[in-house]
A and B are shown apart, each in its own frame.
Chain A
């Protein structure tokens, strides 16, 4: 990552989109960076934290996205430049504050960088955060390639200062995590002194108190900012047209779809028939630029991911200027040419252009996909989504599942966001029955726990990771405790924000820059709220199940902390607690009395079925040595011995 700090202006590197964004922020001399981790956005703050070792930057993994934005905003109104990164649904969390920031205005350049995840590759939703820009009335930028990711980030700070507005910039997984060639700009020395001025009247953009009241005048100021943005966007170099002067088909696109559109036109050899209008400033749209390009042709195809944001906004302009540019035939989401779900790719764009322009083109024959699948099946084993070998969540869900089944009252677990979201799948023994937003597990459970007056007598449990606990679970837990809801809150404490790459959180001792911080113990928090708190090690399955069963006999809000470090945590990785082996002579395998409990149900990837011997065997390469499987074997065939240290 040394290229991030390369002072050699004009140097060219193959760079991941998120790194290009980081470089852009560094070239803009960003002072403060904050975020809550979430794929595909996490690398942005991770790499800026590396920059903090070389430059005077404050970098923070904040407790949640709303607080992250508040932290970045403070820097802005103290006159510094700041960036705040999050994944798509993080914007929902930050949106209440965002609504007010739009009205209050900003000072130093501030950029809200959100990475959307079309196709939900690393998400449990396919949220489209672009709509916040229109709803909250803020400018929105979407880089169309890797170079633009750098340039646009850098420019976003200038634009923010010019408009006195926060700028929303949207990336997507295939831009953030893919790589492309990027030419570096000048890397200066960060400057700026923090001072919050508040001596003049509210509404003074430079030195007044920063509040949103009186609202109508502030709202007018906000809308004037958008008008100014339109004027700037009309001339922005990030809005480009490539293609013939009068194409048969005009593609209007943005973001990574720009790359897919270019590839599709290239594949079809249709460069002389198709023009591409790539919009970088997707809200507010510059109407003159749009009108000018709509006038080129009568057929327009929209290429964008998920919902028809660009499409609908362009159509408004097209309707208003129909007398000038004529009636258009639109192809996109609304007429069904494109889907409103999932990722876009060049093939989809090729298919759309083929149909519209009646081009004969076959990229691959029909049998190709089938043959590829067959070859793949022969080479790669079928893999489930599962927990890693030695993952404490497998043991935790084993305990939860068994205790709930033993209890026999159709109890269930409300889930939350983390690796343990997989608890609804067989790897978690299908124990988790709800899964929504961060902190919602305990919130939903809190509601369930008040349904006893309607006859609900199922035990109600909520699971929550340690990072999620701080993010959004605490208010819901307070709600449950205060309202005497009959719930068991199970904190799956694996000592880090494991899913996104071990970012620190308030329960861990280091900040994003590696400096010591005081630990906030979730147990202390729960106790101070008045909950009874018990600890257990999920690897101790007998004790954990016993505790769960006992807790299920009680009423009110109860807290059980299942504490065991993530198998991949830097502190644990590679260190086995136990050497584990299977005595294949004792293994009952498929017979009545076992029926392959370990390889059929428990299914740690470290346990393998030996077809030849018809017995289980340990895959020593990946076994993490947690030793849990030794305790579940009904015939005692799995042996564990303490590993040499």
Chain B
């Protein structure tokens, strides 16, 4: 198929997604797809030749806007491009669209975008997860084979689980953060959705590797494209007991049991492990991430970024407050306020200091589990399948708990992957593999093996 034909087909699929009201895409056009096709014709084939890829709208692109789903950046076009996007272009990928997200990647349902909520690709009354819900829904709807998202506390693995696709968060530092709009800098990772493990692995192999433009980038070569293993003999896979609580959703539990049985059939040794500080991951995350966000989002002040100014502002202080008060949505305002509070004089040690120490303990739990001889961990990705739209929007803490199985991995900087393992009452169930730091390829190889043995569309109970 020629790149022109691929671009035309992608345009048809994007139009159809728009027509059904998916609202997964913020920016795309026929003209842009034609521009991309012409660029690829002139460039020659590469490892991702003609692969259409969508980009979450908090990752900088030169020829499409980068709004972060926020009014404060409406119409903003970046003067530079993310390293990950540049590498995709150089590898022959077709940049198809920019996708909707929770504003500044803050959310677990993609209901907090200034440009409207994203629908779940299989049930419009439900959420696709978040914050990368636009990318997850677009891959889940079959519009593109892969998409970039970003993770700060599970924002790719969680929507991947809800939408029935593969979602991979690499080890912190393996993919450059250059051009990813900063939220929580010690947590942020550009991450990948794929319809298959192979799709996601090909994209990761392209965008990973050292980048001198990101001081936290690891000095390691790009990942190899992972080939599935013939079986899982010789592997010890740990089941952290804290991730299998008594009140775990019955469909999710059935999906886990089915997958564990397949792992055993393939020769893996399944062992019980404990990560004792797991219960503190969400409160720790919701101190550290807002603290970093309150500093990172200070730059949106109406001076360097922001919409046209209202008239009659008396001074620059009023400009800051008015621009930020009107430009940020409710969830971003809440997180800035929480972050400011936990960093303020008199409260810093009580909140931020304690959270930093707990983060170290959470990371140490994982280190000890792997040091005891476990090669990978396996858990549910989410406690339930996709929930109803509006179900959690009025109660921020309930929304935050949707990330309970994913945010500890982000705090520890580890690689994690969600793979669809079946369906419960028609909705996808995701299982999560977690690898030691830097062992991303091992996780992808095992996921590829499981993918070949699991029918992800089958009911699990």
B and A form one assembly: no
Residues of B within 8 A of A (CB): none
